[in-house]
């Protein structure tokens, strides 16, 4: 079987690893890996390296990523996404587009971000999401990331649709929580 990179449009509801296992089965490949991870509730392009192409996965992973996402204001969940149990509801204060655009400029550039407990980051060989599901919270080191672009696409009464161009290691769920917090919701 030839080596190469498969650019797959990951469907809603599957983890990146579940998609990888299906590709391995279809292509009869043991040597395969996905480049980066998308949450089960995320859809989008997921590069999968097959065979000898796995040797360049690190170079692909180091590249910039573009995400389009919606932030629901006034509600927080245990997981930081629509899948988690609602932990907090709060009123959405009034704000205008100009104030929001000014806020977005503060989020652009180099910064640090702490990975969420519901993530594939490993601690002592165990993914954090498994610890979180068991009710265990551990300290996580902040990581350097960069937001090259952060653009408001749609402003709704309690939602924001945004697009971000960012470095590897950026958690969009954490960015959404930080934006909501900065807006006072």
Active site residue 39: yes
Q: State pLDDT tens for residues 148-173.
A: 999 999 999 999 999 999 999 999 99
Q: What is the DSSP letter of 11?
A: P
pLDDT band at 129 (very low <50, low <70, confident <90, very high): very high
Same domain flag for 121 and 156 = yes
Q: Do 33 and 97 reside in the same domain of the chain?
A: no
Q: Does 169 lie in the same domain as 143?
A: yes
Question: Could you tell me the CATH number of the domain that includes residue 173?
Answer: 3.30.2350.10
Residues 44 and 70 in one domain: no
Q: Outline where 56-171 has alpha helix (H).
A: 57-61, 97-107, 128-133
Pair 10, 81 in one domain: no
Quick one: 149 and 92 in the same domain? yes
Q: How far is CA 165 from CA 44, 148, 168, in A?
A: 14, 5, 10
What predicted TM-score, i.e. pTM, was given to this entire model? Answer: 0.91
Q: What is the DSSP string of 35-88?
A: SS---TT--EEEEEEEGGGGGGHHHHHTS-EEEEEEEETTEEESSSSTTSPEEE
Residue-wise pLDDT for 48-99, tens only, equals 999 999 999 999 999 999 999 999 999 999 999 998 999 999 999 998 999 9
- Are the C-beta atoms of residues 183 and 93 closer than 8 Å to each other? yes
Annotated catalytic residue, options 9, 39, 81, 96: 39
End position of a domain, from candidates 61, 83, 108 = 61
The CA-CA-CA angle for residues 108, 109, 114, to 5°, reads: 90
Range(s) of the domain holding residue 85? 65-182
Instruction: Judge if 75 and 37 occupy the same domain.
Output: no
In this structure, are 80 and 168 located in the same domain? yes
């Amino acid at each position: 079987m030839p080596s190469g990179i498969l650019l797959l449009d990951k469907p809603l509801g599957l983890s990146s690893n579940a998609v990888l296992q299906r590709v391995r089965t279809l292509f009869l490949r043991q040597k395969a890996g996905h480049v980066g991870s998308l949450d089960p509730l995320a859809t989008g392009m997921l590069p999968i390296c097959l065979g000898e192409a796995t040797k360049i996965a690190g170079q692909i992973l180091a590249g910039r990523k573009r995400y389009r996402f919606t932030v629901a204001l006034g509600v927080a969940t245990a997981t930081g996404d629509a899948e988690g149990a609602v932990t907090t509801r709060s009123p959405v204060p009034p704000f205008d587009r100009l104030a929001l655009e000014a806020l977005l400029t503060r989020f652009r550039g180099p910064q640090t971000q702490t990975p969420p407990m519901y993530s594939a980051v490993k601690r002592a060989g165990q993914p954090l999401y498994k610890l979180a599901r068991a009710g265990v919270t551990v300290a996580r080191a902040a990581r350097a990331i960069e937001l090259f672009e952060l653009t408001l696409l749609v402003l709704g009464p309690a939602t924001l649709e945004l697009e971000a161009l960012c470095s590897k290691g950026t958690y969009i769920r954490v960015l959404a929580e930080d934006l909501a917090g900065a807006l006072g919701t």
